[in-house]
Structure 1
Amino acid sequence: MEQGFGSEPNFFPGSIDKTRVLDVRPLQCLAPIFPNPPNGTSSSAHPAPFSCFPPSGPFPPGVRPFYPFLIPNNSQNTTSATQNQDNLGSDGPIPAPVPLNSYMTPKSRAQGRRGKGKRAINATKYVVVEDDGQSDSQNDQFPSGFSAHANDAENGSNSELRSGRPRRRRARNSDDFDVESLVNSFLMPFNLHEFDDFRRSNGDKEIVRTILLVFSLLRRRLTQLEEASDLATAIARRPDLKAGKFLLTKGVRTNSSKRIGHVPGIEVGDIFFFRMELCIAGLHAHSMAGIDYLSVRVTMDEEPVAVSIVSSGGYDDEGDGVDVLIYSGQGGVHRSDGQMFDQKLERGNLALEKSLHRANDVRVIRGIKDSLSTGKIYIYDGLYKIRESWAEKNKSGCNVFKYKLVRVPGQPEAYSVWKSIQQWKDGFARPKGVILPDLTSGAESQAVTLVNDVDNEKGPAHFSYISTLRYSKPFLTSKPFSGCHCLGGCQPGDTNCPCNRRNEGLLPYSSTGVLLTNKSLIYECGPTCACPPNCRNRTSQAGIRVRLEVFKTKDNGWGLRSWDPIRVGAFICEYAGDVISDAGDFGSENDNSYIFDSTRYFEPLELIRDSSAGYNKAPFPLVISAKNCGNVARFMNHSCSPNVFWQPVLRERNNDSYLHVAFFAVRHIPPMQELTYDYGLVPSGKGNKGKNKCLCGSENCRGYFH
């Protein structure tokens, strides 16, 4: 068993510490095991015939397991039951791929209480990694009796161990926060405590978005708290699994009734960053297995029928084009003990074979590498039909099943969009209607393409591109701030860092630039701080990280979208321009589309229902003009149901305060989907000044904006 450097073995009850050095005699010195006579007399008086039993059981009456094979009987029974359900390999039961006390096997309250916020890890069977704002997913170091399509491993390791940096003193112990209360605090504002059976079985767009939002809020909060806790560095953090476990335990899920075809509330092209999101939304019920199926009755018998598959690179899945997928079956192949077996026509494989003959639709979720992290992104690519199946030898000489799936025509583009974008990035093709390959002229680290494939307009009105906000004079503060002295960057839970203390002792960002907090104001490191430019607490100062495109819309002028997928909470850009004293100083009413006014009223986003009132009220009245000078943010259009929100960010230097406006994703945003935010409403005293007709087309459209 491998352990990370400096780690301590951590086992669930009933497992064996295989790292210990055992004082054992040579095998020939051990006496054979004889069952004890049922009457209790000694075996020497009534010798029994020699019997041989597997070291791990099961054992007949009178025979007990011996160390190091000693496992409690209840553990054996639980293991056997679990394996018989899901883990049948090609030659019988195989070890479970996850510890039995994980989210896949609910435990009683008494069994599961081993300390708040802590989870035992069976390192011999399941290796997990730290979630640091990165993607999913299940690690691939478990027996491959499960489909390799489940091996969506985030093969990372603890960042502090890799870098060799010593751990800073933590602000709090893991027992300092009650996870149960934390979960309830996120469920309460969304009225999810009384989640009825109908919504569990049948969802819609609002329900799916709400559940995924709560999962994201909870996962990010757990990430932030656990980073600042006193957990050992070698114990991996999986807040995605913890968040999913708590929601499933409380019944907070939807589309739990399996069905053939599309899932209510989920659109073709939607993206997910965690397998748990697929589960709680009902798109794919299994967090690990790659084939999901249901049983249908045929005369007096039942047979399995596939409803969805996840193709995430465990096998060499490929096809003749973006609408064809060659999918490998599950099971067999190569076990962790080195034995190799052929796949069997059972469970998921049998379900795919039955779906071939029934010609029913199968949902396909494609997993691809996330370019911004070590995880995967899951794309719902719509409905496919299985056209043919066959068996062939793989590289190891084992028989595997192959299934050819063809996409049902007439569906919106999904995976094909990703393939086109990759060709653009590789230089093999270019988007239609390109006017400028880089609108910023090198001012940003990422090029911003200018595209118009709608009409003959050659571009927006002239402006000078700047990447940050320009102040004529800063705001004054009553308390001077000299900055932090974190030469290696601010660290989570470091109580000596004054920037951490200003953020209630918690770093607001993950290492990948994901916003972990939902406070009304974020304090970032300022000009007098000693930390480097790549400090996590300077996320909004690092510029854009995704490949953006300014494009001509059909009805709303110029808009902004991204070539890259954007995960919920990810930083997108800041609003750059010139700080002015009042929106009226900017000019005529026709020019107010290039103004950002923090004094407007902003309807509370569902993202921050658990926050105090007035969340989007900046602590200082800030008005920005981007007419003459600005960045890509000036092209973001209004929506009454936006996918982007703005967050006040404060940077201080001595007696001066500089307030900035940073934009973050409300939810996962697929590539080429327009980025929008709520422009807000002017105070009632200003009447209808600057009112414009809204064309956002959302279900919650107010009909106008300012």
Structure 2
Amino acid sequence: MDPQNPNQNPSFPSAPPGIPIPAPILTPKQEPLDEPLQPNLNNLPNLNLNLNLNHNNISQEQTLTHSDDFGRVAELFRTNFSNGLQQIQNDVVDDPNSRAIVPVPDAPRNEENNNNAPAGEVAAAQRLQRRYKELVRVSDLGLPDQRQFREMVRRTRMVYDSIRVLAVVEEEKRVDVRRARSDLRASAVMRNHGLWLNRDKRIVGAIPGICIGDVFIYRMELVVVGLHGQPQAGIDYLPGSMSSNGEPIATSVIVSGGYEDDVDQGDVIIYSGHGGQDKNSRQVFHQKLEGGNLAMERSMHYGIEVRVIRGVRCEGSSSASGKVYVYDGLYRIVECWFDVGKSGFGVYKYKLWRIEGQAKMGSSVLKEALMLRRDPLCFKPMCVLSLDIANGKESVGIRLFNDIDRNHDPMCFEYLPKATFPPFVFHQSGKTTGCACVDGCTEECFCFMKNGNEFPYSQNGLLLKGRPLLFECGPFCHCPPHCRNRVTQKGLKHRLEVFRSRETGWGVRSLDLIQAGAFICEYTGVVLTKEQAQIFTMNGDSLIYPSRFAESWAEWGNLSLIDANYKRPSYPSIPPLDFAMDVSRMRNVACYISHSSTPNVMVQFVLYDHNNLMFPHLMLFAMENIPPLREFSLDYGVAGVADEELTGKLAICM
């Protein structure tokens, strides 16, 4: 088959009669309306972050741990893939249902050159090498492996978000015009330190650790986790020059609805090919069957599924395009043809069918959440028990939803928007002083110094680094309400929902996209001293113990994977938290958040209305991008504590 001329392939539709086929402009199918990416990430300005970010700073222990994880993953790939491997001969697959792919042997290494090169340069070269040729598929992973890969992806994304948020702060300080996007800078730092995932194998099908419905705010994050390896092109594929039989294979596509010939019906997609477009994404030439177009046709021929990621406009996205990218699962290419596009030029089209038996599409969940934000009663109105269990005490309403049984317990408690402290906490909190800033806090002000001579939040209110205790501006500060150091005290801003769950009893989720590092809400209750708590527990324990919460805040902003010499900033030690919270009669939405050892929400202790270090507020922040309608989870306890002792939520909110 000549890939330059589709008419020579009898199994592929020919061009419509009467349409001449001039030489097209072959360009990758790019995402419309996206801000152009800088092509060479090595040319980005150095990311300081108060670190010495060079290739040799990764410790041997960290490198071995990271390599061992991926070595084990690669072995699982090879084992699972080889079980269904079939040889391809004369362009025919022995078993058409095997979805077989021929692996490419490892490229020979130049041992002589490697032996003569310095160890640091060899390690850096290995980390920066191009993606591998070998195509593999992961299947039949056990639950422990699924959890491990999920945790690996979660931690990688957390490092990415931590670097990106810190890069935003550095950009805010730059006075020159030349600025680099924070998402590109974060991805460049992670690539230079060998932290991009799934670069050792070209994965066909599902990526371990990535779930349907996962949301990515930036395109580069797709590349970092290996879900889609192209920073801008819409079709990711293994080129024919790297394939064992000389044919390209498509692995993933991005559908964003920005091309005139695309048709997206959810489970069925008509996806137009690439090429023949000008710089404004207008079709000006006929397309040609090569590159990504040929890869899509070959994937159809061999029955190889492709991952589909949708670009969807979403409120809460901080990207330049205003879109988020949501993974919607696996599709099979069932048909392809050459047709006249709306612009009058020949376009290759591919019909994709979603494979049955998968979880609900993430893009459908985003649409459902959008409808609920516009009309909270548009979906199962009889199951909406309350439009606002807070009874107006929060700035936004909190919906109560139950489509499982008739339980309506959250309506039986008094809603408490802020924690209630004993009066002596304010009387014994020391001298009440604040900053003298007029138009928001500045560097070197009193509150800035209390936080270790750095701001705890970005200008957009995202937490920069977790710490044992955070000081916000309080009632005795002169700065205005819009000061960047006043975040959690403003209360709830996301539209939350308490819902009935078959797995966790009551749970909490949001109708909004919550970005990593964003404040969610306070964990409230009636604060009891240690002595009061001992008396209270004589009749049964339904208390929340702040000292038992896992120190998940230590993970946020932890850049030890980037620099082996990285040390967390030293903060003044705080007294042990000996108080408890009674949530038996008065509580807020946070009391219904479920327990998990791999949470997506963390507790950060904050002071703002008093200075008593022993009685901070319990503020909840997102540890990752939390899609709409995905359940929140908290780690209520430390290892060695029985589950029934971890949290009052598990005992009283089922």
Q: TM-score, normalised by structure 2?
A: 0.71
1:584 and 1:300 mapped to 2: Cα distance? 69
- SS in structure 2 of the partner of residue 537 of structure 1: coil
For the residue of structure 2 that corresponds to 1:470, the secondary structure is coil
Distance across 2 between alignment mates of 1:557 and 1:452 = 10
Q: After superposition, give the CA deviation of every residue in 1:267-302 in whole Å (9 maximum; x if it has no partner).
A: 222222222221121111111111101247999841
Deviates further, 542-551 or 312-321: 312-321
Displacement of 1:656 after TM fit? 10
1:636 maps to 593
Structure 1 residue aligned with 2:186: 243
2: CA distance, partners of 1:207 / 1:258: 18
Task: Find the partner of 1:647 among 604, 621, 630.
Answer: 604
Tell whether 2:223 aligns with 1:223.
no
What's the counterpart of residue 212 of structure 2?
268
Query: Which structure's residues are more often helix, by fraction?
Result: 2
Partner of 2:533: 584
Secondary structure of the residue that 2:485 maps to in structure 1? helix
Letter in 2 for 1:419: K
Return the alpha-carbon distance in structure 2 between the equivalents of residues 541 and 417 of structure 1.
31
**Are the counterparts in 2 of residues 327 and 402 from structure 1 also a CA contact under 8 Å?**
yes
- Look up the SS of the partner of 2:412 in the other structure: coil
Listed as ranges, the matches of 1:182-581 within 5 Å are 191-192=62-63, 195-196=66-67, 198=71, 204-227=149-172, 229=173, 231-232=174-175, 234-256=177-199, 257-295=201-239, 301-316=245-260, 319=263, 321-335=265-279, 340-375=284-319, 376-391=323-338, 396-415=343-362, 416-427=364-375, 429-431=378-380, 433-460=383-410, 462-473=412-423, 474-475=425-426, 476-487=428-439, 489-490=440-441, 494-581=442-529
SS in 2 for 1:599: helix
Q: How many equivalent pairs are there?
A: 531
Shift of 1:408: 0.6
Question: 1:149 — aligned with what?
Answer: 31
Quote the sequence identity (%).
35
- CA displacement 1:208-230 (0-9 Å, x = unmatched): 22322222222223333443x4x
One-letter identity of the residue aligned with 2:251: V
Taking structure 1 as reference, are residues 632 and 598 closer, same or farther at Cα in structure 2, changes over 3 Å only? Answer: same
Distance 1:329 1:558 in 2: 46
- Structure 1 match to 2:106: none
Describe the shift of the 1:511–1:406 C-alpha distance in structure 2 as closer, same or farther (beyond 3 A).
Answer: farther
Q: What's the counterpart of residue 107 of structure 1?
A: none
Aligned to 1:704: none
CA distance in 1, matches of 2:340, 2:499: 48
Asked if the contact 1:152–1:313 (Cα under 8 Å) also holds between the matched residues in 2, the reply is no
Mapped partners of 1:616, 1:361: distance in 2: 54
Superposed CA deviations along residues 492-531 of structure 1, whole A, max 9, x for unmatched, are xx32533223223332223333211122221111112233
Structure 2 gap ranges (5+): 1-21, 38-44, 78-147, 561-567
Question: Retained in 2: the 8 A contact 1:392–1:400?
Answer: yes
Asked which structure has the greater CA Rg, the reply is 1
Q: Distance in 2 between matches of 1:314 and 1:190?
A: 46
Instruction: Check whether the contact 1:598–1:617 (CA below 8 A) recurs between aligned residues.
Output: no
The alpha-carbon deviation at position 244 of structure 1 amounts to 1.2
Deviations 1:158-186 (A, max 9, x none): xxxxxxxxxxxxxxx9997555449988x
Question: What residue number does 1:65 align with?
Answer: none
| Match of residue 617, structure 2, among 623, 644, 660 | 660
CA contact (8 A) 2:637 2:647 kept: no
Q: In the aligned structure 2, how far is the partner of 1:617 from the partner of 1:184?
A: 35
Note the C-alpha offset of 1:380.
Answer: 1.0
Q: Is the 8 A contact 2:435 2:479 kept in 1?
A: no
Q: Is the 8 A contact 2:577 2:615 kept in 1?
A: no
Q: 1:614 to 1:592 in 2, by over 3 A?
A: farther
Q: CA deviation at 1:454?
A: 1.8
* Partner SS state of residue 149, structure 1: coil
Q: Post-superposition shift, 1:412?
A: 0.8
TM-superposed CA distance for 1:398, in Å, is: 4.3
C-alpha change, 1:363 and 1:267, in structure 2 (3 Å) is: same
Q: Which runs of 5+ in 1 are unaligned?
A: 1-88, 94-144, 156-172, 697-706
Change (3 A) 1:276 1:339: closer
Cα deviation digits, residues 300-329 of structure 1 (max 9, x gap): 841112110112344257646331223232
